[in-house]
Structure 1
């Protein structure tokens, strides 16, 4: 098995476990109180603030949107509740189960469609989507696989379509090195060499570039216009 296949399998196992038996009660509460949720999320949480720049919530109404790496499906549900026709994709079948439960318990204008598995193998029709989005998704890919995903994204977009991604950007080597030495969540400090090594072995993120310059260059290979919007402060 190649290192790319191993990384993909590690990702799949990680997210199958993470989203297995995932409760949808919080998601249903949020989409039933959509304005209040988005007002809070887009002002207090960096990824929501980043993804929903430039009136995104209004732009997607009635539009066909593909979400890569839908994960726990919160964003897919929010977009669908806003009136978008959402196709949600993830390698974890557990995400599909979340979509099924959401469709059973909420009346979306367009029920969410789930596409399971490797995005590259699904071969959805060309020029199908008004938007392709990823909320902290691309950085889970190795750079060669990311390039394939971006090429596929360009193929799937309508001529006037838009790809929109929120991704972490490491633009300061000093700050990034400091970050690794501060324990957060389930990640131990790099000072703790044994525990850090164990954590790194199960971490689904590959070692790769995360700089804003990389994201801009990667996008310019496939898209006519690329805009990088920095968000956050001393985080990444």
Structure 2
């Protein structure tokens, strides 16, 4: 089986397991406290801070949105609760079961529509979406498959539409190498070679570029306008702090103030980035 197909199968297997019998209890609570949840998430959670920049929550009301790699469907549910008409795609059928549960338990203006399986085999109409969203999604794809996804994004997006992708950023080889030696969540330190190699063998992320330059070049092949915002130059140091109120307070401070740094410093130190694509070529 070729590398691209193997990578897709690894992702499908992992997320079928992760989202099988997934409880939507927390999502429903967040939807019932939507303003408070978004106020917290967009200041403290890096991916939410990134995707929801530039008054995104107000822009999507009544708009037709496609989310790639919807995963646990939390963001799809939030966008639908904000009044968007949401189409959610994931390679894992377990995500579709979550969508079914959400539609049964919560009254959305537009029930979420699930598109199961390989996104490249969809039968959606061209020029039909106002927004296409990927929240930590593209980096799960090999670069040849990413290219096909961006091409399809350009086909499906309206002329005045916008695609938004929140992705990891690796613009410094030194920082990239250092990070592998700091254990995070279920990822062991590279100092622990045996455990690290075992983790790496099961990691669903392919070896590929996450640089801003790569995403800019990839975007310009199919879009006339590419905007990349580095995120997390100061926030990245949160991982050195113990989890608690102080780490949350630090994250809010870092995300608010890192934009005051020179752009070259933000770009080289960024842990993440928001990629905005407009005007399909």
Question: What TM-score does the superposition give when structure 2 sets the normalisation length?
Answer: 0.83
Structure 2: how far apart are the matches of 1:130 and 1:224? 16
Match for residue 192 of structure 2? 192
5+ residue gaps, structure 1, are none
Match for residue 99 of structure 2? 99
Instruction: Report the aligned-residue RMSD.
Output: 0.7
Match for residue 261 of structure 2? none
Structure 2: how far apart are the matches of 1:72 and 1:153? 21
Match for residue 76 of structure 1? 76
Structure 1: how far apart are the matches of 2:220 and 2:32? 38
User: Mapping of 1:29-68 within 5 angstroms?
Assistant: 29-68=29-68
Match for residue 209 of structure 1? 209
Structure 1: how far apart are the matches of 2:148 and 2:4? 13
For residue 123 of structure 1, report the CA deviation from its aligned partner: 2.7
Look up the SS of the partner of 1:195 in the other structure.
helix
Structure 1: how far apart are the matches of 2:163 and 2:127? 12
Match for residue 15 of structure 2? 15
Task: Name the stretch that deviates more: 145-154 or 120-129.
Answer: 120-129
User: Mapping of 1:102-141 within 5 angstroms?
Assistant: 102-141=102-141
For residue 233 of structure 1, report the CA deviation from its aligned partner: 1.8
Q: Deviations over 1:96-121 (max 9, x none)?
A: 00000000000000000000001001
Q: Deviations over 1:185-223 (max 9, x none)?
A: 111111111111111111000000000111111111111
Structure 1 runs, 4 residues or longer, greater than 6 Å off: none
For residue 154 of structure 1, report the CA deviation from its aligned partner: 0.3
Q: Deviations over 1:11-63 (max 9, x none)?
A: 00000001011100000000111100000000001000000010100000000
For residue 124 of structure 1, report the CA deviation from its aligned partner: 1.2
Question: What TM-score does the superposition give when structure 1 sets the normalisation length?
Answer: 0.99
Look up the SS of the partner of 1:230 in the other structure.
strand
Structure 2: how far apart are the matches of 1:126 and 1:149? 14
